[in-house]
Amino acid sequence: MRVFAHRGASGNYPENTLSAIRAALQADVDGIELDVQSCADDYAIVHDTWLDRTTNGTGKVNQTSLQEIQTLDAGNGEFIPNLQQVFDEIGHKSMINLELKHTFSLDKFVACIEQNIRQDTFAREQLIVSSFDHHQLVWLKQHMPWIKIGALTASIPLHYAEFAQRLHAYSIHIDKNFINHQFVDDAKQRGLKVFTYTVDKQQDIEDMRALGVDGIFSNFPCYAKMILSRS
Ligand code: G3P
Ligand code: MG
């Protein structure tokens, strides 16, 4: 079972920052999940929706300028990174799951990814783009047919994993509190990988393994890997 660091190793470091990414890489994670969105002047920023909970700023990232975002402290003196800084930090070292946090124009996002792949900052195979906004995922797949799509859902849809198959997704990312055997079996029959979030406690980690999911997102990836290393 793969372990993705949720917002980096965010249980011990400020979430969605370079220190959280470095700690995750040190833990030798399979992948790193990060939240991405555009700020008010349309630059791709790696952060959750609101600034209040995580920084000394206030308001929403998508209503704040890049200049202002660059002045904020994201915890322990860390800055809020942009997409390029994250790509440079991770390089070829692990899978990268970018979760789109709100609806925005994806042209620049696509251009940034393609440029980094041309420059071999990372390889295509490493990247998964996920979102609760499935319309954004359809648009992305049309413009980058090679992209691995992660279809996010908080709950079990009426027709199980069918929605993700229709999106030509690579994986489904589902809340651990809703997942069950029927859902996992249905997704697997459709050739989809199943990842669950956010899985931190020993019992939850073991339950996910027993369900046969392909991966988990954890705030404590080092701990999760330790639990999974036990037979
Ligand atoms: O991508 C998995 C998970 O991060 C989705 O929700 O709110 O934790 O970003 P959230
Ligand atoms: Mg996320």
Exposure class string for 40-75: b at 16+ Cβ within 10 A, else e: beebbbbbbeebeebbebeebbbebebeebeebebb
pLDDT of residue 104: 84
- With a 6 A CB cut-off, is 6 part of the ligand 1 pocket? yes
Name the pTM for this structure: 0.97
The domain that holds 7 is classified in CATH as: 3.20.20.190
Q: Is residue 129 part of a domain?
A: yes
Q: Which domain holds residue 180?
A: 2-49+80-229
d(CA 230, ligand 2 centre) in Å:
27
Q: Provide the domain count of the chain.
A: 1
Supply the residue whose CA is at minimum distance from atom 9 of ligand 1.
35
Query: 102 an active-site residue?
Result: no
Q: Is residue 195 part of a domain?
A: yes
Q: Is residue 108 part of a domain?
A: yes
Q: Is residue 75 part of a domain?
A: no
Each of the 231 residues of the chain gets a pLDDT tens digit; together they read 999 999 999 999 999 999 999 999 999 999 999 999 999 999 999 999 999 999 999 999 999 999 999 999 999 999 999 999 999 999 999 999 999 999 888 999 999 999 999 999 999 999 999 999 999 999 999 999 999 999 999 999 999 999 999 999 999 999 999 999 999 999 999 999 999 999 999 999 999 999 999 999 999 999 999 999 986
* CB of 170 closer than 8 Å to CB of 148: yes
Q: Tell me the Cα Rg of the chain.
A: 17
